[in-house]
Amino acid sequence: MCLGTEVRVRFALEGVGGKASEEDVEVMLTTKKDEYEYNLVWTGTPKSARLQPGLYAIAAVAQVGPVKHECSQPIIGYGYLAGALLQVYAA
């Protein structure tokens, strides 16, 4: 992978019924020399994502690119994740 490639994951937290809200959160990294494996993890809390108590379906879209380097390409690829659930309880 070319150095300086942006990798973004946008998580959609979609409330299922009741007062559950719908919010999006994002994480991003830029690839570095001699690093070949990456983990993108959103480390927020339900409060920081403004989630109300309720059930949420989680989907995510990954975007690889653009590259900020001489071997630059627009977008290298996209990916999609679905089928995960999150239960948020009142604190």
pLDDT in tens, 64-87: 877 776 666 666 667 777 778 778
d(CA 58, CA 70): 36
Per-residue tokens: 47: 């409060």
pTM equals 0.73
What is the layout of strands, in order, in the sheet containing 77-88? Answer: 22-30, 5-16, 54-67, 77-88
Query: How many beta carbons lie within 10 A of that of residue 13, not counting itself?
Result: 22
User: Which tens digits make up the pLDDT trace of 33-73?
Assistant: 888 888 888 899 988 999 888 888 988 888 887 777 666 66
Q: Which residue has the higher pLDDT, 31 or 81?
A: 31
